[in-house]
Amino acid sequence: MVIRKYSRPIEKIVYMDNNATTRADPLVAEVMVHYLTEEYGNSESVHHFGGDLRYVEDDARENVTRLFNGNPANLYFTSGATEANNWALRGVMKRAKGKHIITSTVEHPSVLNVCKQLELDGYQVTYLPVTMEGVVELDALIASVREDTSLVSIMYANNETGAIMPIADIGNYLKDKKIIFHSDATQALGKISLDVVAEHIDLLSFSAHKFHGPKGIGGLHIAPRKRIAEGAPWRIEITPFILGGEQQDYMRGGTMNIPSIAGLGKAAELAYLHSGDSNQVEKLRNLLEQSISEQVPGVIINSQNARRLPNTTNIIFPGAEGESIVDRLSEIGICVSTGSACSSKSLTISHVLDAMKVEPSCINSVIRFSLSRYTSEEEIKYVIHNLPKIIEKLRNYSGYTRKRGG
């Protein structure tokens, strides 16, 4: 295979779509190449060349769980957060006595679509609404808990808006109930600090490629039991999802993906080392928001008053259509994303912004910028230099400026 270059020649890439995926750190790539070409054995083998590679798994478990104060023994590797979410929901509900699940309307499709499927299988699901800031409210959750509620699945932070959910409050409320608490922490891990012990998170899913690791690897952290106030600890029951050999205590079949696991471990180690960088990322995000607000009239920043991921901003540019903005930014090498209906194959608007009751006439004018530790101030300036002209042009096309008496 030849490596195909972009369909359109672009000299400069300013990558601000890190909530979609990130650049793998070159150090990550380096360890992966090593485990692909040098120590390439199967860690389940009896011989030393293969079998000794368990140290790679152990190392990675150590480095990953350090990011959320987990227990290395409780971490299972999966092909990513999608699989981990599928596993968490299906695996728990299969064993659960009660048939009721609580989740939110703003979850990732890998949670929502599993829930929809579970509904067809006779389970009942409550989809919690969110505030206009895109946050789930504890009170609403408490009000929807039923006798037969077995699982609560609420994402740690939202991928579109960056809004952080009140996970510690929810965990605290659920901690002495026989209800399993799952959180999809895909967007949070490596960006903010989390603590599965202090926040009482029973199941946690994540993907490596969201924090400069490789794609196609992630995991599910499964706390084995919950300490309900009185009485013996309550076992958290979950059945395996992918069946196969005896890897990972029969909980997840498939030959151990040692190169990817090594890459994940390295990425986690680096994320830990760089955790101080999030201040700098937040400063750049704020600079971007502030400059855009100053130079483009009438913009609205979603979830601005919520606790947010430091790297994410989701901005409405009324009068300019989202896909057009992305397309024009893309021509000059700036990579961002939009929730506009036109950009999706299914023609549906963003379910997240819809749940936040964003004005229908604005919902197709949304752009998400998501930064990373690689983002530089110069790149922010490049965006600020170009974006206002593009918005002005598109607003001119739509007659927005004229209609607003501009």
Partner 1 sequence: MAWDYPEKLREVAANPRFIESEVGLLRLIEGDGKLKSALASGDLIAAKRDIDKERTLYIGSYGSPACGDYMTLFLLVNNPTNSVEKISYDNYGCTSSIGASEMGARLIDKIKQFEGGVFQKREEKGQFQLEPLILNSGILRELSDVDESGRVIKSVPKEKHHCSVMFEQALRNLLKALTHGDIYGSLLSEDQKCMIDEVDGPLVCHCFDVHEKTITRLFQSIDKELHELMARGESDLRPDDKEGIVKYFHERVQESTKAGGACGKCHYDRSPSIEALILREFPNYNPKGDDKVVVRAEHKEEKPYFALPFFDRVKLIQEAIDTFVRPSLQRDGGDIELVSLEGDTVKVALTGACATCAASSVTMAYGVQQILREHVYKRLDVEHIG
Ligand X SMILES: Cc1ncc(COP(=O)(O)O)c(C=O)c1O
The CB-of-210 to ligand X minimum distance in angstroms stands at 7
Any residues with CB less than 8 A from the CB of 327 and at least 6 apart, and which? none
- Kindly state whether residue 324 participates in binding partner 1, applying the rule CB under 8 A: yes
Binder to ligand X among 80, 162, 214, 319 (CB under 6 A)?
80
Query: Angle at CA 114, nearest 5°, toward 111 and 118?
Result: 135
C-beta closer to ligand X: residue 366 or 391: 366
Residue 363 touches which of ligand X, partner 1, none (Cβ within 5-8 Å per kind): partner 1
Ranges assigned E (strand) in 273-321: 300-302, 312-316
d(CA 110, CA 88): 11
- Kindly state whether residue 399 participates in binding partner 1, applying the rule CB under 8 A: yes
Active site amino acids: 342
Spatial strand order of the sheet with 312-316 comes to 300-302, 312-316, 366-370, 337-338
Cα separation values, 27 from 58, 230, 274, 275, Å: 19, 48, 13, 17
The CB-of-115 to partner 1 minimum distance in angstroms stands at 15
The CB-of-75 to ligand X minimum distance in angstroms stands at 16
Q: Which stretch binds ligand X (CB under 6 A): 182-190, 235-243, 278-286, 348-356?
A: 182-190
Binder to partner 1 among 82, 104, 303, 365 (CB under 8 A)?
365
In degrees and rounded to multiples of 5, residue 206 shows phi and psi of -160, 165
The tally of CA atoms less than 13 A away on the side-chain side of residue 271 is 30
Per the CB < 8 A criterion, the answer to whether 157 and 309 are in contact is yes
Any residues with CB less than 8 A from the CB of 182 and at least 6 apart, and which? 85, 88, 89, 92, 151, 152, 153, 154, 201, 202, 203, 204, 205
d(CA 214, CA 218): 9
The CB-of-218 to partner 1 minimum distance in angstroms stands at 22
The token pair that represents 289 in the structure block:
């928001």
- Kindly state whether residue 324 participates in binding ligand X, applying the rule CB under 6 A: no
- Kindly state whether residue 352 participates in binding ligand X, applying the rule CB under 6 A: no
Residue recorded with tokens 């939110």? 104
Q: Which stretch binds partner 1 (CB under 8 A): 233-241, 276-284, 292-300, 389-397?
A: 389-397
- Kindly state whether residue 149 participates in binding ligand X, applying the rule CB under 6 A: no
* CB neighbour burial string for 257-287, b if at least 16 within 10 angstroms, e if fewer: bbbbbbbbbbbbbbbeebeebbebbbebbee
Binder to partner 1 among 321, 355, 371, 372 (CB under 8 A)?
321
Binder to partner 1 among 103, 319, 368, 369 (CB under 8 A)?
319
Residue 381 touches which of ligand X, partner 1, none (Cβ within 5-8 Å per kind): none
Ranges assigned E (strand) in 291-351: 300-302, 312-316, 334-335, 337-338
How many chain residues are in contact with partner 1, going by CB under 8 A?
34
Per the CB < 8 A criterion, the answer to whether 366 and 302 are in contact is yes
Residue 122 touches which of ligand X, partner 1, none (Cβ within 5-8 Å per kind): partner 1
What string marks each residue from 101 to 130 as x (binds partner 1 by CB under 8 A) or -? -------------------x-x--------
C-beta closer to ligand X: residue 74 or 187: 187
- Kindly state whether residue 363 participates in binding partner 1, applying the rule CB under 8 A: yes
C-beta closer to partner 1: residue 156 or 317: 317
Interface contacts to partner 1, rule CB under 8 A: 7, 120, 122, 319-321, 323-324, 327, 330, 340-343, 345-349, 360-365, 394, 396-403
Interface contacts to ligand X, rule CB under 6 A: 80-82, 108, 110, 155, 159, 184, 186-187, 207, 209, 218
